[in-house]
């Protein structure tokens, strides 16, 4: 069964919608400049968007460091949560990562964000540490998660 959204690389023209999602979802949203820098740095970054009916319903930003993938950000448009969009974005990122011989993935997630943690645990992430007061505005700690990317057979 195909999903009602498609995934494509993020483009400069997407920044306004990404900003809306960032601001609606995170207490410390990325700025327009930060998002533009990330989207246009295609050597070490890869940003994708999920689009349904010409509207961006989610996005994922990753960074490649040697043989590792770092999940920088993932966001879902309000009202579209729980539909599998984040999983679709991660599935697509895993395929791309494996094609680049990436063997591990990491990220930080707020300790209070159990919904995101549950998603990451389904992808094999495990907590390996805590970054105290990681989030500047909320002073919330972040869990550091790592996962091994198992090659598809």
For the domain that residue 122 is a member of, what is the CATH number? 3.40.630.30
Is 21 a member of any domain? yes
Is 121 a member of any domain? yes
Q: Which of 34, 42, 35 is nearest to 9 (CA)?
A: 42
Q: Which domain holds residue 52?
A: 6-148
Is 120 a member of any domain? yes
Name the domain count of the chain. Answer: 1
CA distance 29 to 11: 19
* Residue 2 confidence (pLDDT) above 90: no
Is 131 a member of any domain? yes
Given pLDDT bands bounded at 50, 70 and 90, which one contains residue 152? low
Average pLDDT in the chain: 93
Q: Which of 107, 91, 92 is nearest to 146 (CA)?
A: 107
Q: Which of 46, 45, 51, 56 is nearest to 22 (CA)?
A: 56
Q: Which two tokens stand for residue 122?
A: 């389904």
* Residue 138 confidence (pLDDT) above 60: yes
Is 59 a member of any domain? yes
Q: What is the pLDDT of residues 96-130, one digit of tens each?
A: 999 999 999 999 999 999 999 999 999 999 999 99
Is 42 a member of any domain? yes
Q: What is the pLDDT of residues 25-37, one digit of tens each?
A: 988 899 999 999 9
Is 114 a member of any domain? yes
Given pLDDT bands bounded at 50, 70 and 90, which one contains residue 11? very high
Is 153 a member of any domain? no
CA distance 46 to 152: 21
Q: Are 22 and 75 in contact (CB under 8 A)?
A: yes
């Amino acid at each position: 069964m195909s999903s009602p959204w498609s995934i494509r690389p993020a483009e400069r023209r997407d920044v306004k919608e990404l900003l809306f999602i960032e601001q609606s979802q995170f207490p410390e949203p990325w700025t327009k400049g930060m998002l533009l820098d990330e989207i246009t740095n295609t050597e070490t970054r890869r940003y994708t968007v999920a689009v349904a009916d010409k509207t961006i319903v989610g996005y994922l930003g990753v960074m490649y460091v040697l043989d590792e993938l770092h999940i920088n950000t993932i966001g879902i448009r309000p009202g579209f949560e729980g539909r599998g969009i984040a999983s679709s974005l991660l599935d697509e990122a895993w395929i791309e990562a494996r094609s680049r011989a990436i063997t591990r993935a990491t990220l930080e997630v707020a300790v209070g964000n159990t919904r995101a943690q549950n998603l990451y645990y389904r992808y094999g992430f495990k907590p390996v540490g805590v970054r105290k007061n990681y989030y500047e505005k909320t002073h919330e700690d972040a869990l550091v998660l790592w996962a091994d990317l198992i090659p598809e057979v």
